[in-house]
Amino acid sequence: FALPMATNMVLTMAVAQFGTLVSLCVLMPWFTPVALALMFVLYHLQPTVATVVLRRVSNSLAGPTMALFSETIGGAASIRAASLGGFFERRFARSVDDANAAQLADQLLFAMVTINVGIAMAFLAGALLLIVMLTKDSLTPATASFVVTQGMNLTLGLGFFMMQRGQFAMALNSIERLAEFSKLPPEVEGHETPAVEWPESGEVT
C-alpha cells in the first residue's frame, strides 16, 4: 500500500513542479539559468547508495528482532522452567541494539539530505526574489505577484518532492527483498525412512 501511494505522490509532485518551473522561466527568462542550476543541485542531493543500503539493513534487522520478541513471549513458561531468562534477555538486547543502530544511522543520513534540500530551497527563494527586484521595471504588479506566489509554492513543493522521492527510493527495498526471497532455494524435504529398531508406537510408563 505504501509503495503505490509513494509512487503516485512522486509523479504528481514532479509534474506539478515541472509546470511551475516552466511558467516561471516563460515569465522571467532570467530565471532559466537558476532553474538549470537548481536541477543540477537537486540531482546530486538525491538519496545516496549508503542511505538505501542502511534502510535495507534496518529493515532486515527489524524483522528478526520482532520474531525473537514474539518467540520469547510465546515460550516464556519454558524459558522460566529452564532458567534461561538471562540468556534470552542478553540475546534480545543485542538484537535490539543492532536494529536501533542501523535505524539511527538511516535517520541521520536522511536528516542530512533534508537539511541540504532546505538550504537549496533557501537559495532558490533568494535568487527568485533577487531576479524579481532586478527586473521589476519590466514586470507588471500582477506578474510580479504571480511569480512570487509560484516561487513560494515551488520552494515548498520541491522540498516536499525531494522528501517523497527519498522515501520512494527507500521503499523499493521491499521489492528488492521480495525478489531476493523468491530466489532462495527451497528446503530439502526428508525422505529417509526410520531405522528398523525405531519403535512404531510409544507409551508412558
Average pLDDT of the segment spanning 191-202:
69
Q: Could you tell me if residue 122 is inside a domain? A: yes
CATH classification at residue 141: 1.20.1560.10
Q: What is the mean pLDDT of residues 76-97?
A: 81
Residue 58 falls inside a structural domain? yes
In-domain check, residue 64: yes
Q: For CA atoms 29, 30, 33, 38, give the dihedral sign.
A: negative
Assigned domain for 114 exists: yes
User: What domain range is 64 assigned to?
Assistant: 2-181
* Residue at grid coordinates 528398523: 196
Q: Who has greater pLDDT, 17 or 111? A: 17
Computed over every residue of the chain, the mean pLDDT equals 76
- Note whether 58 and 98 are within 8 A (CB): no
Overall average pLDDT of the 155-167 stretch: 74
Query: Does residue 200 lie within any of the structural domains?
Result: no
In a domain, 61, yes or no: yes
Cell triple for residue 98? 543492532
Residue 61 has pLDDT above 60, yes or no: yes
The structural domain count of the chain equals 1
> 59 versus 124: which is more confidently predicted?
124
How is residue 37 written as a grid cell? 542550476
Provide φ and ψ at 46, rounded to 5°.
-65, 160
φ/ψ (deg, to 5) at 55 = -65, -40
Asked whether residue 193 is assigned to any structural domain, the reply reads no
Residue 198 lies in a domain: no
30-38 mean pLDDT: 82
With 0-12 CB in 10 A as exposed, 13-18 as middle and 19+ as buried, what is 165? Answer: buried
pLDDT digits 0-9 by tens, 114-142: 787 778 778 888 888 888 888 878 878 88
> What pLDDT does 32 receive?
84
Of 154, 163, 158, nearest in space to 25 by CA: 154
φ, ψ for residue 183 (rounded to 5)? Answer: -95, 0
Amino acid (1-letter code) at residue 56: R
